[in-house]
């Protein structure tokens, strides 16, 4: 069987006056090397994407991290300039893609902005500038040029006993590279909390009653997928779920 295909929603970015539909290479590389799948990049169109047509052609969805944030109006909050940058094309592409993938039972892995999109798509809210809240650790990406340092594995999260991620990552403490200034505020009713940071920040979730693998993580397993065991294990589990779904489609 040929490699299964995974949709990755793009970001809409401007460089030197031109606009581009882009995905950071680290997600593409992790999809190919860690999950063993072929990425299919979905343009970040505010209108024009046919979500079901896209999902008819793929076997999984990988919602990646991005520099932009989900627009607060999508979870009932007033937008402040400090909440940006925003990406209406990404919002209009990724949120319905996530919602419809869950409805159809298409495997989903949501990373960083992706876990926040997953929460908003299912009716949850986001908290901004969490490092300013009492008792919350500074989860922001270090302001350094060296990416290996910026994405360094530096924080503990606690994977809950009996969670769906426990067989994949092991229950208890694992070390991750969680880099964010926003986080899940009120978790959507359909989300189960899978892992938390020591300060209580939600770091991983799964979709209750999902038809297939449907997990979101706030950290960046894609960056160290070649060398870090938990990162590799998460992408392998996603890839296995995608292959199972693809085999089912082929048999049907």
112 in catalytic set: yes
Q: Which residue, among 189, 181, 194, has the nearest Cα to 230 in the 3D structure?
A: 194
Q: Which residue, among 72, 82, 176, has the nearest Cα to 116 in the 3D structure?
A: 72
Q: Which of 71, 139, 180, 220 is catalytic?
A: 220
The secondary structure element, H or E, covering residue 5 is strand 5-9
Cα–Cα distance for residue pair 51/46, rounded to 1 Å: 12
Instruction: Give the start-end residues of each E strand in 115-190.
Output: 126-127, 155-159, 172-176, 183-184
222 in catalytic set: yes
Helices 88-104 and 113-121, interaxial angle, to 10°?
60
- Residue entry with tokens 């581009």: 20
**Hey, what are 235's tokens?**
């992408």
Q: Which residue, among 211, 208, 236, has the nearest Cα to 221 in the 3D structure?
A: 236
Q: Which of 112, 117, 164, 203 is catalytic?
A: 112
71 in catalytic set: no
Cα–Cα distance for residue pair 58/3, rounded to 1 Å: 11
Q: Which of 117, 194, 203, 222 is catalytic?
A: 222
Pairing of strands 18-22, 11-15: antiparallel
Residue 157 bridge partners (DSSP): 174, 197
Report the chain's C-alpha Rg in angstroms.
Answer: 17
- Indicate which residues carry an active-site annotation: 112, 220, 222
């Amino acid at each position: 069987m040929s490699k299964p295909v995974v949709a990755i929603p793009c970001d809409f970015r401007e460089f030197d006056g031109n606009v581009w539909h882009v995905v950071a290479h680290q997600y593409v590389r992790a999809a190919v090397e860690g999950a063993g799948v072929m990425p299919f990049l979905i343009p970040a169109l505010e209108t024009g994407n046919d979500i079901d047509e896209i999902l008819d052609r793929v076997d999984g969805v990988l919602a990646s991290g991005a520099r932009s944030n989900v627009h607060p109006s999508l979870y009932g909050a007033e937008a402040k300039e400090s909440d940006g940058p925003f990406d209406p094309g990404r919002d209009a592409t990724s949120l319905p893609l996530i919602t419809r993938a869950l409805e159809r039972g298409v495997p989903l892995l949501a990373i960083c902005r992706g876990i926040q999109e997953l929460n908003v798509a299912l009716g949850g809210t986001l908290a901004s500038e969490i490092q300013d809240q009492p008792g919350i650790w500074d989860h922001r990406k270090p302001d350094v040029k060296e990416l290996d340092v910026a994405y360094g594995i530096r924080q503990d999260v606690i994977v809950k006993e009996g969670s769906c991620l426990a067989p994949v990552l092991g229950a208890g403490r694992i070390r991750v590279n969680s880099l964010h200034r926003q986080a899940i505020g009120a978790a959507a009713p359909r989300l189960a909390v899978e892992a938390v940071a020591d300060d209580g920040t939600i770091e991983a979730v799964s979709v209750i009653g999902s038809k297939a693998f449907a997990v979101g993580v706030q950290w960046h397993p894609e960056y160290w997928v070649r060398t870090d065991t938990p990162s590799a294990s998460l992408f392998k589990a996603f890839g296995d779920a995608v292959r199972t779904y693809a085999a089912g489609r082929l048999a049907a």
